[in-house]
Amino acid sequence: MASLVPLSPKAKRFLNANKQAQAFRAAIKIREAEAAKLATTISRGTYHTRIPRPVAPPRKGRPTTDGLFADYINWQPSSAHKGFIDFDTATMKAKAPYFLIQEIGTNRTAKILNPPAVITVRSQIGRTIPYNLYWAAGVGGTAVDARTGASGDQLYLASEINAASLKNVKSRRKRIRREIKGKHYLQAGGAEGFRYLGETLVADARKIFR
């Protein structure tokens, strides 16, 4: 029969360290998934805190997500770095290429940490609105003057709203007088997700490597 050879203290420490490393790698995977889910929830919730605007049909030069913008906001465990989460930029670029305007607003500059970049969204004040576009509360709604309309109104083609109401609104080339305010939904979700990730991984490390 083979006899058991007692392990040296050094060998015991090595085997224990390997088990600890495996346990920590498993913890990282779990925490990444939890942090990504939390960041997604916070980002989506933050996006919805602003006054919602009705969904306008797509038109030339104006894509739309048909009200599904928030559904495309997703954070996920990083495929490049352990212990990190990434925003699903590829999906947002495909579904809503204007997503950074919603994040920082117009006439604003923002610094992106990963990947490092500085982006600037130009001002929209003074930009003209075509004659055939009118502010209204929804398709089939009443056309209103830009100065008296509610902040939740949206632009619609004349053919999409109540024809009788058009006579009460001047047909003129209108100019935008207000900037789009950033919702900072990415900033809010990322900050909370990384906070959770950092705190829980530190706690896991202390517990596993004690």
Q: Is 210 helix (H, G, I), strand (E, B) or coil?
A: coil
Cβ contacts of residue 205 below 8 Å, gap of 6+? 24
71-115 confidence digits (pLDDT tens): 999 999 998 889 999 999 999 999 999 999 999 999 999 998 877
Helix count and strand count (H, E) for the chain:
4, 8
Mean pLDDT (whole number) for 117-123: 94
Q: What is the pLDDT of residues 161-176, one digit of tens each?
A: 898 888 888 766 678 8
Q: Distance (Å, rounded) from C-alpha 16 to C-alpha 31?
A: 22
User: What is the tens place of the pLDDT at every residue in 5-35?
Assistant: 566 666 566 567 788 889 999 999 999 999 9
Task: Please state, as a whole number, how many other Cβ atoms lie within 10 Å of the Cβ of residue 210.
Answer: 6
The per-residue pLDDT for 168 is 81
Locate all alpha helices (DSSP H) within 3-64, ordered by sequence.
9-47
pLDDT tier for residue 1 given thresholds of 50, 70 and 90: very low
Lowest mean pLDDT among 12-21, 144-153, 184-193: 144-153
What is the pTM assigned to this prediction? Answer: 0.81
Would you say 84 and 78 are in contact if contact means Cβ atoms under 8 Å apart? yes
